Structure 1
Amino acid sequence: MPGQPGQPQPGQYGYPQQPAYGQPDYGQVPPAYGQQDYGQAQQPAYGQPEYGQPGFQPMPPAYPMGPPPAQGTNGFAIATLILGLLGACLLAVPFGFIALNQTKQRNQAGRGLAIVGLIASGLWVLLFVVVFAIAAVTDSSTTASSDNTTRTSALSDSPTSISIDEVKTGDCVQTVEENNHIRKVTVLPCDSPHDGEVITQVHLPGSWPGSGDASFDKASEACQVQLDKLLASSPVVDKLESFILYPANEVQWNKSNGRATCMVHNADGQKLTAKVPR
């Protein structure tokens, strides 16, 4: 019954009681103004970093970096340019490739110098090749001319007998006759009456063909090709016939290295009194 002693009444001690509106609940302690209630999570203030996390700091804008400045001029590049201009190609070429490699790895100047030096070396090499080729052709022409003109002019007016192994281009032979065993011929100056003139000599390809007739056939074919070429513009070519000295056996073939001597004479049998005009 309400009001009986020993029984708690509503609102008295022993019963939970709701605090009045706007009054604090004395069972709980509210946080002081401006302090954080550690029992509940609290949002950080706007613009402030959250506790335990790094704050946001703006980074300065990044700008692209250019290549580092060149570290001087490469020494091999300078050497390549100088040696290339002077024609020292054996040194300029390897130095040039070393310079191209080092200028790239070390960020050095001088790449253009190395390239110019290499180009100059290439031009020198080309020039050497051209000069060598011209010299070879000139020397060959000079040798042929010497064989054609100086041999017989150095002989005496009297006929001179020589071995067929000594016969050279330009010799004028006193007598030509069909004979399979010719060992010597008589040569004399070409302004003296003579039967034949040595126009050229050829080396027959391959080894000994096995017989004298086969050797003659090979020599005749090779000589005819050369005579047609050398005497194509001669005004007397229609009046000439060929005459060939060739190795008639294997011993002669090996001794002369398969050499054949290509001669011409007048088809009508008359003597020649000068060198055959070309």
Structure 2
Amino acid sequence: MLRTILGGIWLVCALLFFIMVQQPVSVEAQWLIAITALAVAIGIYTLRLSGTWKYIFLGAVSLVVLRYAYWRTTSTLPSADDLTNFIPAIILYGAEMYCLLMLAMSLFVSADPLERPQAPQYPDDELPSVDVFVPSYNESSDILSLTLAAAKSLDYPQDKLHVYLLDDGGTDEKRLSSDHKTALAAQTRHEELQYLCRDLGVGYLTRPANVHAKAGNLNNGLAHSSGALVVVFDADHAPAREFLRETVGFFKRDPRLFLVQTP
């Protein structure tokens, strides 16, 4: 019953909101509405107000945006009879409406986000060992060095953390290719990344052939893994330092847990 009442209240508020959006006002009044709404939104954001204030913030921002969209739709588009002006105007209008749609989706998501509890925290001596895999195919050493360094710097007991670069761009198949350029590039990459891994103190793994693409690369990594848990980062994904502290505890708490994926 309470949910039905709240739903009715929200519906009435939405109808009143859209009626407000469609009211014809002067340019001066529109400026006043926009400045007032933005001032309210900036004040709420600056003071870090939460709870009901969050919805007031979203309402204020939405009022400005929707009034603009309504004015843009009803008052600015040229006649379809004049194609010279109509076509570019419609293209620009479509681009603007697409941006507003993306904004609406982000506001919808942020209006009521899931509040997930922090992962359980355990003493270092009770934490499981973790192998970090960074699969790569053709990414440059500059990109990989950032990802590997960030993985190596994760806040976790260093004796229980092992980082591996899974290099599918330096396989035997590619280094022994009949194409001289392909073989030379693969051999150069192989040597460069081996040096990089030694310098950073991480493991380097490759394999005989590029079988089954990334899945095969990960399977090869698993064949060399000894960690109780495995984490996979894309080659261009530098993890936050607390990544393992915010994820591993879930596995420790629930032995049936198979997978944790972060936003």
Which TM class, normalised by the smaller chain length? under 0.3
Structure 1-normalised TM-score? 0.22
Structure 2-normalised TM-score? 0.23
> Which structure's residues are more often helix, by fraction?
2
Higher relative CO (Cα under 8 Å, sequence separation at least 6) belongs to: 2
